[in-house]
Amino acid sequence: MEQEYIILLQKILVVLFSVTLFWKIIKHICGLLVIEKEPVTVLVTGAAGQIGYALLPMIARGVMLGPDQPVIIHMLDIEPAAEALNGVKMELIDAAFPLLKDVVATTDVVEACQGVNIAVMVGGFPRKEGMKRKDVMSKNVSIYKAQASALEQHAAPDCKVLVVANPANTNALILKEFAPSIPEKNITCLTRLDHNRALGQISEKLNVHVSDVWNVIIWGNHSSTQYPDINHATVKTTNGEKSVRDAIANDNWLNTEFITTVQQRGATIIKARKLSSALSAASAACDHIRDWVLGTPKGTWVSMGVYSDGSYGIQPGIMYSFPVTCEKGQWSIVNGLKIDELSREKMDATAKELMDEKTLAYSCLIDD
């Protein structure tokens, strides 16, 4: 009897060993079959500047497109910044990012746009002391007209474009006008920074984690007329989910100080650090592209500056920030949200500013 037990135990051990070995062989074979994704080519203009310096390592580390997506980075800047640009390239190489397959540093817009899948347009002409608004607009119209032409001719057919440089909405509009073969839904501008700023203010006010606040909206222009709207926002509290307005229970703060704090946050940061908000802008650019490409979580939306189709009574033909959801690389405006009287007034005011900017930009084109 004892001998039978020993034989049975030996058989069980053989079976277990065989199963374990078989499983290891299967895992090894599966590992060999894993095919690395094709690299995505990402262009960053103004790459030697502050935002570029913060943004490039985020892209190379997988923050923008995910931890398993290899990237090729194209960096473009103007001739006077060529040496600094080369220094940034050296640093990217020295950082030995596993996902970074190649780096191109150039002052040639055609070389920079070659085969690009995603373009993050950070470069632009900043307003300097004593400059008239039209002079700044004229400089940027010229820059974005030239870059639009290069993207249209040399970028990948499905290239997605994010404009960061101010005036972001109108720069994106000019780019769209001069790159007609790029689908209009593939050209956007950055209002995610303002969206994130609004989330940050709410989370600080309620003393909750920022991930527990969702569905704020930035309407309109990336300027001091933008409208940060919390009327549809939700917060997770210890007592369950609540509307942000009910949780804060201070309409005066929400309708005044909250709005102006978000609108003027960029100027406040410049005053504090004597430099612009590069880190948060770079992070927001990654958030914008990541959600656009990989999708927004179910039940949530984000703010993106997109070409208006007339939704919410906003004039078609301008780049305006709306709440959007993203799926399979496409964004869609969230429709059907109730708009109160205060919101309507503020949404229309920022739309009017964008129409004025458009008129100014087009007058620059005529003078060009």
Q: Is 235 labeled as ligand-binding?
A: no
Two tokens, residue 48: 């030697």
Q: Is 164 labeled as ligand-binding?
A: yes
Q: Is 299 labeled as ligand-binding?
A: no
Two tokens, residue 196: 């994130």
**Cα Rg for the chain, rounded, in angstroms?**
25
Partners of 44 in beta bridges: 75, 120
> Residue 221 and residue 203: Cα distance in Å, rounded?
23
Q: Is 48 labeled as ligand-binding?
A: yes
What burial class does residue 151 get, using C-beta atoms within 10 Å of its C-beta: 0-12 exposed, 13-18 middle, 19+ buried? buried
Q: Is 290 labeled as ligand-binding?
A: no
**Catalytic site residue from 28, 154, 209, 222:** 222
- Does residue 154 carry a catalytic annotation? no
Q: Is 165 labeled as ligand-binding?
A: yes
Q: Is 133 labeled as ligand-binding?
A: yes
Q: Is 114 labeled as ligand-binding?
A: no
Q: Is 201 labeled as ligand-binding?
A: no
> Residue 277 and residue 65: Cα distance in Å, rounded?
22
β-bridge pairing 330-333 and 217-219:
unpaired
The candidate with the shortest Cα–Cα distance to 304, out of 280, 273, 337, 330, is 330
Q: Is 192 labeled as ligand-binding?
A: no
Q: Write down how long the chain is.
A: 368
Q: Is 49 labeled as ligand-binding?
A: yes
> Residue 263 and residue 235: Cα distance in Å, rounded?
21
Residues of each annotated binding site for NAD(+):
46-52, 77, 140, 164-166
Where in the sequence numbering do the catalytic residues fall?
222
Binding site for substrate, by residue number, is 127, 133, 166, 197
Residue ranges at the known binding site: 46-52, 77, 127, 133, 140, 164-166, 197
